[in-house]
Amino acid sequence: MRAVVKGALLVAAALLLASPAGAEWVEWIADAGLAFEWDDNVNRSAFDADEVSDFRWRPAVRGGRIYQLTDHTRLSFAAELEGALYHDWDGLNHFRAGGTAAVLHKFGTGPNVPTLRFHGTVGYLGISDHERSSVLYEAGIQLSKRFSPRFDAAIDVLYSDRDGRNGTVVVPTLGTDVWDQANVEVGAVGNFLITPQILASVGYRYRDGEFDSACTPGNVATVFAREGSNVEAIAIDDVFGGCVYRLDGHMHGALVNLSYGLSDHLSVDLGYRFQHGKARSLAYDTNIVTLSLLFRY
C-alpha cells in the first residue's frame, strides 16, 4: 500500500519533470474550512450503553499549485493542515498535516466530458493521546462526470493505510498495534442543484478493512466471545479509560449534504453521515452531523 502511494508521488514528480514544452504552473489552490461536528459514537463502541458522543471543531486549510501538463491534463500539489478540537474528549484533539499530489485528466472538451483523477497523499496525524498518533498514506482514483448543469456524479476507490505506534499491553498474546490499519473503500456521490445556490449531495461508501473500537472492563469479554480471533490487537485506552482493539470488518456509509452558496467562493453546508460497521458479529453505528463553512479561492 505504501509502495502504491510512494509510486503515485514518484509518477507525479516524473510527470512534472518530463512535461512537454508549454506546460507551466497555471493556478493556485487556496481552500479553507471550518466545521462544527457532532458525533454520537466517538469511541466507536459496539455497545449502545458504552457509546459516547461529543462535539468538535474542525478547521482546515489547503494550499498548493496546479501545473498544466497538456490541454486536458493537470497535475496539482497541495499541502493540507487540518485540526480537531473536542468539547469533552480532548485526548482526541488532533492535527493532520500532509501533502497530496494529484493528476487530473479530462477526456476532451466540454462540460459533460468525464474526468479521471488519481491522487496520492502522505500525512501525519498528531493526536493529544500520543499513542494514537500515526503516519497516513492514501491513494485514490475518482471518475467524475457532469450529466447536466444541475447534476454531476462521481465514483471512487480509495486505499488508506495508517501506521501507528504500539500501545500498552492488555492481552500478552495479542499485539498492541491497534493503530496500524489498512482499508479499501469504494464510493459514489451525486450532486444536484436544487436552486442556483443550493447544492444537494447524496452519497454511499463501502469500506473493507480494519478499524478500532473502544472496550471497557465490562464488555471486553463479550467482544472476545463474539469476535474471537477477529480481534487482531488490543491496548490500554488512555482517552476513554478502558481498552481499545482493532478488528477486521466492513462499513456501509450514507451521506447527505446541503450546501448553500453564499458567494462564488464561500458556502455553508449542513451534512449528515450514517456509518454502519460490521465485524464478524458485532455492529458499530455512528451518526455524524456537520455544519461547515467552506472557502475555495
Residues of the shown chain interacting with other proteins in the complex, contacts defined by CB under 8 A: 26-29, 31, 66, 68, 71-72, 74, 76, 102, 104, 106, 109-111, 113, 115, 117, 142, 144, 146, 148-150, 152, 154, 189, 191, 193, 196-197, 199, 201-203, 255, 257, 259, 261-267, 269, 271, 290, 292, 294-296
Question: Residue 269 Cβ, how far from other proteins at the closest point, in Å?
Answer: 5
CA atoms within 13 A on the CB side of 144: 19
Q: Which is nearer to other proteins, 128 or 142 (CB)?
A: 142
Question: Residue 22 Cβ, how far from other proteins at the closest point, in Å?
Answer: 9
Q: Which is nearer to other proteins, 148 or 287 (CB)?
A: 148
Q: Which is nearer to other proteins, 181 or 191 (CB)?
A: 191
Question: Residue 241 Cβ, how far from other proteins at the closest point, in Å?
Answer: 33
Q: Which is nearer to other proteins, 48 or 264 (CB)?
A: 264
Q: Which is nearer to other proteins, 135 or 289 (CB)?
A: 289
Question: Residue 289 Cβ, how far from other proteins at the closest point, in Å?
Answer: 12
Contact 155, 142 (CB under 8 A): yes
Query: How many C-beta neighbours within 10 Å does residue 196 have?
Result: 9
Q: Which is nearer to other proteins, 12 or 214 (CB)?
A: 12
Question: Residue 206 Cβ, how far from other proteins at the closest point, in Å?
Answer: 17
Query: How many C-beta neighbours within 10 Å does residue 175 have?
Result: 15
For every residue of 217-243, DSSP letters joined together read: TTTHHHHHHHHGGGEEEEEE-TTTSSE
Q: How far apart are CA 144 and CA 155, in angstroms?
A: 6
Q: How far apart are CA 284 and CA 129, in angstroms?
A: 23
Question: Residue 100 Cβ, how far from other proteins at the closest point, in Å?
Answer: 10
Cβ neighbours of residue 8 closer than 8 Å, sequence gap 6 or more:
101, 118, 119, 120, 139
Q: How far apart are CA 284 and CA 253, in angstroms?
A: 11
Mapping DSSP onto H, E and C, the string for 86-118 reads: ECCCHHHCEEEEEEEEEEEEECCCCCCCCEEEE
